[in-house]
Structure 1
Amino acid sequence: MDQKIINLYDSYTHSQLSRKEFIKKLSILAGGTAIAMTMLPLLENNYVAAASLVNEDQLSTETISYKGVNGEMKGFLAKPKNGKNLGCVLVIHENRGLNPHTIDVTKQVAAAGFLALGVDALSITGGTPADEDKARDEIGKLNPEDNLQNYLLGLDYLRKRKDGNGKVGCVGFCWGGKMANMLSANDPKLKAAVAYYGAQVEASEVPKIKASLMLHYAGLDERINAGIPAYEAALKQNGIDYQLYIYEGVNHAFNNNTSPTRYNEAAAKLAWARTIDLFKKKLS
């Protein structure tokens, strides 16, 4: 598919561009409304078509809750059956909320031998809605400081779990990738933070980072990649333990197997292997 169309969809999913305006712009690029409508299923997430990447028979799952700064926070928790003394991982969703894809990612982390928790940032508004545009809008309205504190409380929740070993890391994607970076700068007890194509924190925040960082970027993701040079310079200057990978020729959201035009299996598998290896080293 034409990269201009993929870039347009990326812009739509990360801005306040209305669906009506998106379809209008897509129709122009595609050469007509009819053609544009045939492209939509290839651009939008398809949770039904994407197969789960885990054997759920080996997992124990439950819905949990903990007290947030402005209401009850809820999340999906998964772990190996009968698992004890497990390293813990907070999974942070994209700007579409705790959807089926993020729940599957949480299961993938658990299947690798960890206690994994996918927190729903929209718990305070009634939970993630099925309408992805509505979820995007509601996430955009969250109070940034309250939201950060709610995720920090999620890390504390994991540290207190009796089936965990007290060592906690996090992994986030897109909107959640930025949150992973923010958590690394705001929780000195965090052991490891993995950010997939997430916006970077300001250089002034970098000296506070104590966690080991792993940063995954898509080579075609000009919007997010613009912040790499300043971030990496600050990481080097402050002696932060980090690994940075750029996967050439792939798009933002390359890990999301529900997004047909952006998912890249080879890059996703390589990045995931690196992610799990970091967690095994830092959270065991």
Structure 2
Amino acid sequence: MTSLSTKKTPSKHLSSSNIPQEAFDWYDEYAHGDIDRRTFLSRLGTLSIAGLTLSVVAGALTPNYALAEQVSFNDPDIIASYLEFDTPNGHGKGRGYLVIPKNVNADNKAPTVLVAHENRGLNPYIEDVARRLAKAGFIAFAPDALFPLGGYPGNDDAGREMQKSLDGNKIEGDFMDAATLLQKHAFSTGKVGMVGFCYGGYLTNTLAAAMPDTIQAGAPYYGTPAKANIEKIKASLQIHFAEIDQRVNDTWPDYEKALKANKVDYTAYIYPKTNHGFHNDSTARYDEKNAELAWQRTVSFFDKTLRA
């Protein structure tokens, strides 16, 4: 596994130990559209947090993407570009961020990994995840579900509303066509893995069920199960959960029962004292130790399942 420079949480970023758990719970409700921004801020205002203002706490919970770069976009070991592609099963046209290791070509092919973003479009954190995968030797492709509406707007609040307005079935179709693109890419070995976060975790579970002959390995992070076809999954799954994430974790017992019943090869990890989104290094929900452990496991999992 290619090592990356160690990412440290910047001192200007509050750590989770400085923020009451209620604030994380309310942010999770806000991020998933259960409450609006006014309600979220109003609730934060009821907390007594010594020495910290409402704006500081809200700012710590809200993504600051200037912090979310572990691999530079101009790293000499990778070649990154944006690619438009046909999505006959989705919105008709899609666009994504394609990152290829510099030493990969038609004569030196590599396995591929589809990267699925959260419920707000292709933000800088997800682009960085794609670069990390390329740095580890995989061809990575991260589609933007918001492309039909002009693409990720640079603002998570707007991105969330945009994604909510789109047909979910068509978004799934866009990502399915992206998986097919990777399988057939001229530099691809034909092996396709998938990793996704939050909504992208749901997409990872869904594509594993819907495309059993395409997706060979899936690593969903705090994602809900596929709604259908679990019995068709052939992929190996490595499933990552945050311990303090009741909304997602409540879905796990039934999902695990279905995976066992259908003899799916899976491993599940629950990371102690972490919140939903703990891998995202742009907010105070980030847990460096557990995020790095989860990522090491993920890269090793793809090495094992896609390079054989």
Q: What's the TM-score, normalizing by structure 2? A: 0.87
Name the counterpart of 1:132.
156
Match for 1:40: what amino acid?
A: A
1:205 maps onto 2:224 in alignment? no
Structure 1: which 5+ runs fail to align?
none
Q: Which residue of 1 aligns with 2:24?
A: 6
TM-aligned CA deviation for residue 226 of structure 1: 0.4
Superposition deviation, residue 205 in structure 1: 2.7
**Structure 1 partner of 2:249:** 225
CA-based RMSD of the aligned residues comes to 1.6
Name 1:264's counterpart in structure 2: 287
Identity of paired residues, percent?
A: 38
The answer as to 2:190 corresponding to 1:162 is: no
Partner in structure 1 of residue 100 of structure 2? 79
Matched residue, 1:66: 85
Partner Cα separation in structure 2 for residue 41 and residue 14 of structure 1: 17
The one-letter code sitting in structure 2 at the alignment partner of 1:123 is F
Shift of 1:180: 0.4
Q: How far off its partner does 1:248 sit? A: 1.1
Q: In structure 2, what residue type is equivalent to 1:281? A: K
Given that 1:172 and 1:179 are in contact with CA atoms closer than 8 Å, whether structure 2 keeps it comes out as: yes
Task: Output the CA distance in 1 between the equivalents of 2:229 and 2:82.
Answer: 33
Residue type matched to 2:302 in 1? F
Structure 2 counterparts to residues 87-166 of structure 1, below 5 A = 87-166=111-190
- The letter of the residue matching 1:250 is T
- How far 1:245 sits from its partner (Å)? 0.5
> Comparing both structures, which one devotes a greater share of its residues to helix?
1
Structure 2 unaligned blocks of 5 or more: 1-18
User: Do the aligned residues in 1 keep the contact of 2:41 with 2:58 (CA within 8 Å)?
Assistant: no
CA deviation map 1:3-54 (0-9, x unaligned): 001110111001152212221121123479x821121221111111344246
Aligned twin of 1:251 = 275
Give the residue type in structure 2 aligned to 1:147.
I
TM-score normalised according to structure 1 size: 0.95
SS at match of 1:255: coil
The residue aligned with 2:59 is 41
Q: How many residue pairs end up in the alignment? A: 281
Paired position in structure 2 for 1:280: 303
* CA distance, structure 1, for counterparts of residue 155 and residue 292 of structure 2: 29
- Cα pair distance change 1:197/1:28, threshold 3 Å: same
Find out whether 1:29 has 2:53 as its counterpart.
no
| Deviation of 1:153 (Å) | 0.3
Preserved CA contact (<8 Å) 1:30 1:36: no
Measured after TM superposition, the shift of residue 232 of structure 1 is: 0.5
Contact 2:68–2:124 (CA under 8 A) maintained in structure 1: no
SS of corresponding position for 1:250: strand
Among residues 207, 221, 229, which one is paired with 1:196 in the alignment? 221
1:76 corresponds to which letter in structure 2?
Answer: Y
Q: Of residues 38, 56, 60 in structure 2, which corresponds to 1:20?
A: 38
Structure 1 counterpart SS, 2:103: coil
Contact 2:100-2:139 at 8 Å conserved across structures:
yes
The answer for the alignment partner of 2:264 in structure 1 is 240
Q: Is the 8 A contact 1:59 1:79 kept in 2?
A: yes
Is the Cα contact below 8 Å between 1:59 and 1:81 reproduced in 2? yes
